[in-house]
Structures are given as C-alpha cells and as structure tokens.
Amino acid sequence: MKPQNVIYRSLPAPEKDCALPVLFSDQTMEERKEKILARMNQKRLDKLMIYCDVEHGNNFSYLVGFYTRFEEALLILDKSGDMVLMLGNENLNKCSKARFSCRAVHVSMFSLPNQPSYNDKPFIELLAEAGITKDQRVGIVGWKYFTSAANAGIELFDIPAFILDATRTLVGDHSLITNETAIFIGENGARVTNNANEIAHYEYGAALASDCMLDAMNALDIGVSELELGDKLVRFGQHTSVTTIAAAGERFIKGNMFPTAKNVQLGDPISMTVGYAGGLSSRAGYAVHCTEDLPESARGYLTELAIPYYHAYTTWMKQIRIGMTGGELYDIIESVLPKSEYHWSLCPGHLVAEEEWLASPVYEGSQEVLKSGMIFQIDIIPSKAGFAGASAESTVVLADADLKKQIQDEYPELWERMQKRLHYIREELKIPLSDDLLPMCSTVAYLRPYLLNKDMALVLDK
C-alpha cells in the first residue's frame, strides 16, 4: 500500500557543499588518548596492542594520525600512556610524524615481500623490545569485535597468527590476552561519539561524497559509460572508504565489481556509490524519465518499492532522537517497512568514521543508547523481486544543544552549511526531521527514483 504522505514532484536540486578539509586538533588527539587510557584502566590492562594494515588501520590511526598503507604495523600503548610503533621499512620514517611522541621498533617483516631485512631478528624478540613481557594483561585490537551469538567472545582474534603466537609466548598465560576492539568501537567505545572538531573533519568526506554523487546523477544519460560516471565519483586524490560503484544494467558480470565501458541504456537499473572518511553517498534507481520507460514487469517500482522506502527513510529522520535505544529505532523501521515484505537484512542505520561501517547500535533488541556525537549512515536496503534497488544513503550526526553550540562557535562556516541543508530538507523536501539531527551533506533525503528526470524527486506531502 502506497504511503499517502510521499509524492513525486518537481523541485530544485540541492546545491553542492564544496567543503574543505579540517585536520584533527592537538586537543582532540589528547582527548582520544585519554578516552582510550581510561578504558584500559577500567579493564585493568597493562598494554593495548593495536594492529594496522591498509584495510584495518583506523583504530591505529585514531591515535597515531596516519595508517601505514601497504605495510603492517603495531601500536603498543602502555597504561602509562607511553607509545611504541612497530613499523616496516617504508613507514619507519613516519614515526616522527605521529601525533604523539613514540619510540620506533623497526620490523622489516612488516614490509613487502623480498624487501631487505634490515633488522633481521626473530619477531618475538622485536615484540619484547616493544615492551610485551610475561604476565602482562594485553588487549588486542584488530578491526572488529565478534558479536554473533555463535561466536561472540573476547578470546577470538582477527590479527595475523604470527603476532598472536609471539604475544602468547611472551605473556605465558593465554587468559591474560583478550580481544579489546570494543574499547574503540563497541557500546560506549571511544570512537562511537565525536566532538565538534571530529565532526568538522568528517563532514569533509561526507560532503565530498555527496558532491560527487550529485555530479554523477547530473551526468547520467543514455549513452554515458560507467567509466564516465565512475570518474565523477572519485575526486581530489582522496582515499575512498568503499569500492566505488557505477553500474548500469546487470552487475558482477564475470565477477567484475568495477565500472566498465558499458553505456547506459534506457530502462537500465542504476547503482552508484562512493564513500570517503566521514560518510558515503549511494543512489539506486532506473535510467528512465517516467514510468512508461520502465520494463513492463517493473512499472510498479515507484509505488511498490521507491515510495515505501522513502517513507521509511523519512520516518527514520523524524523519529531518531538522543536517548532512545537502537532497538526502538529498529522496531520503528520494521513497523513501516516490514522485513518480511521488503527483505532488508542489515542494520537500518550504522555508525561511520574513517570506515564506512564502524559499528551499529541499531539492531533487533538493542539496548544501546543513541548519543550526541554519533555520526550515522541512513542505510536501509530494501529488496523486492522484479525491481531494481532504491537508495538515498547519506550521512547525518546526532547533536545535543551543547554540541550544536560548539559547532556554531568553533566552525561557523560548517554551521552555516548545516543550516542551509536543514532549510532545504524542511522547506523543499517537507520533512519535519528530528531536532537532534544535523545533516552532514546537502543531498540527505534527496532521491530521484527516475534518474533521467533530473527535475523531479520524492518529497513528503504536508
């Protein structure tokens, strides 16, 4: 049944944000370190061992300021606050660039294959040199903690075996070694909330993804290639947080996940996604001007999928609030977009930082409380047989009065952009969004289901 408060009509598109990068302040870095040390103290840990590689470097960079790209690395954080960086050949010179004073231990085996072994000692000796000793309580931080009912526990680890084996040998008592990634990303983890400086930093990536997506949507036309669309989605040499998607028609042909020379044809399903540190933008719909351009079997797309999805999306924006539990938000989405009919399977909303999916307090039965400073992706993925997807995934932040004032005082240009976005959402899209919500980019809730019709979008009917 079509939700009666969603209509498809002409309206002006949002303007691009054109935000600029903001670096983390020294004060923010000090706050981060104190948050981690306080959690170490609560758990009576002597050391925290934080692993890094190109895919799993964000807990490391949270304290160090950089990640080691193509090399592995370890940060050994002592309960006193002392920091040791175990670095490979091509990152050893980065120790002096870390945001805190660190002692370096050179580990050539963290480097690429066949590079010279300048410090050819057994790894266990290098780990001892970094400060790991017998009978210490050592917390291991990889990139995730295990939350499934069948495999949850602090004795599962996601770091290379040679590191874990050496740690166990040095410590002796294996029960003293635990998975403590939750210190960073679990309930009440240090990284799940952000201060004004962090929000300003992450807004750049969220806004850049949004600007790129708006350009790609505007460039979409019959005959345009996936390569051309993909070129609109990546910009300024920034590191993407997910695989960039620019797909027309059938996807994953011969296992390929990247844009090709395929040209957009009338009636094609379209999927486009780009993400940077701070947020992702995704759009899915059809390359059509109107319902008549759709394949005959898909002509119910607007009423049967796109509009119900948008109704759920805007309900999420209206109902979310600081202090509610993730389970409450989950139940709200289930009530307006039943999983049994729309087959969404992931969490309807998750946290974002450097990574596109940090963790999520929004899941069935969750008692985790939503807090000021949480940056969310509005990520609801419906699926209905016979139809292409529908998506307007974008980024918002929860902010109480104190955090709003800090943003306004410390980052007035960011605050002005947020007010402009709020005005567009409320006045053009007619969404009475939660007072606790601030949009991190201009295209929040902007959805063109018929992507060739660039003058029309879904809105609420007041």
- What pLDDT, in 10s, does the model give residues 25-44? 999 999 999 999 999 999 99
Residue 40 CA: distances (Å) to CA of 44, 102, 138, 195, 360: 6, 19, 10, 21, 22
210-230 as b/e: b if 16+ CB within 10 A: bbbbbbbbeebeeebbbebbb
Give mean pLDDT, residues 39-65: 97
**pLDDT of 420 strictly over 60:** yes
Least confident of 1-5, 185-189, 275-279, 335-339: 1-5
Q: What pLDDT digit, counting tens, does each position of 318-342 carry?
A: 999 999 999 999 999 999 999 999 9
* pLDDT range class, residue 1, cuts 50, 70, 90: very low
Can you tell me whether residue 389 is helix, strand or coil? coil
Residue with tokens 């028609």: 249
Count the residues in the chain: 462
Q: So what's the pLDDT on residue 3?
A: 61
Amino acid at 334: E
Query: What sign results for the dihedral spanned by CA atoms 316, 393, 25, 110?
Result: positive
**Do the Cβ atoms of 289 and 454 come closer than 8 Å?**
no
Contact 306, 447 (CB under 8 A): yes
* CA separation for the pair 55, 59 (Å, rounded): 11
Angle 257-363-317 from CA coordinates, rounded to 5°: 85
Note the pLDDT tens digit of each residue in 292-323: 999 999 999 999 999 999 999 999 999 999 99
The model carries a pTM of 0.96
pLDDT of residue 248: 97
**Tokens describing residue 9:** 């009509």
- Single-letter amino acid, residue 387: F
Which strand ranges, in their side-by-side order, compose the sheet holding 437-439? Answer: 350-351, 375-377, 395-398, 437-439
Nearest to 243 by CA among 272, 285, 203: 272
Region 83-102: mean pLDDT is 96
User: How does DSSP assign 20-71, residue by residue?
Assistant: ---PPPHHHHHHHHHHHHHHHHHTT-SEEEEEE-SSS-HHHHHHHS---TTS
- Provide the 8-state DSSP code for 255: G
Find all residues with CB under 8 Å of 103, minimum gap 6, and list them.
82, 83, 84, 85, 95
pLDDT score at 4: 63
Radius of gyration, CA atoms only, the chain: 23
| 124-170 pLDDT per residue, tens | 999 999 999 999 999 999 999 898 877 777 889 999 999 999 999 99
| C-alpha atoms less than 13 angstroms from C-alpha of 445 in its C-beta half-sphere | 29
Q: Under 8 Å CB-to-CB from 285, ≥6 apart: which residues?
A: 269, 270, 306, 388, 389, 390, 391, 447, 448, 449, 450, 451
Query: What band does 356 get if pLDDT is binned at 50, 70 and 90?
Result: very high
Q: Are β-strands 177-179 and 138-141 bridged in parallel, bridged antiparallel, or unpaired? A: parallel
Residue type, 354: E
pLDDT in tens, 388-412: 999 999 999 999 999 999 999 999 9
Band of residue 18 on the pLDDT scale cut at 50, 70, 90: very high
pLDDT above 60: residue 194: yes
Average pLDDT over residues 194-212: 98
Note the pLDDT of residue 60.
Answer: 98
Q: Rounded to an integer, what distance in angstroms lies between the CA atom of residue 433 and that of residue 394? A: 14
Mean pLDDT of the chain: 96
Average pLDDT over residues 48-75: 96
Spatial neighbors of 136 by CB under 8 A, at least 6 apart, are 46, 47, 171, 176
Q: Name all domains of the chain by residue range, CATH numbers in brackets.
A: 6-22+192-460 (3.90.230.10), 44-179 (3.40.350)
Contact (CB, 8 A) for 369 and 436: no
Per-position DSSP letters for 160-203, written without gaps between them:
-HHHHHHHHHHH--GGGEEE-THHHHSTT-TTSS--HHHHHHHH
For position 176, what pLDDT does the model report? 97
pLDDT tens-place string over residues 439-452? 999 999 999 999 99
So what's the pLDDT on residue 456?
A: 98
HEC sequence for 323-383: CCEHHHHHHHHHHHCCHHHHCCCCCCCEECCCCCCCCCCCCCCCCCECCCCCEEECCCCCC
Element (H, E) at 269: strand 269-276
Contacts for 294 with CB less than 8 Å, ≥ 6 apart: 267, 286, 288, 301
Q: What angle, rounded to 10 degrees, do the helices at 196-219 and 226-233 form?
A: 160
Strand pairing class (395-398; 437-439): antiparallel
pLDDT at 230 over 90: yes
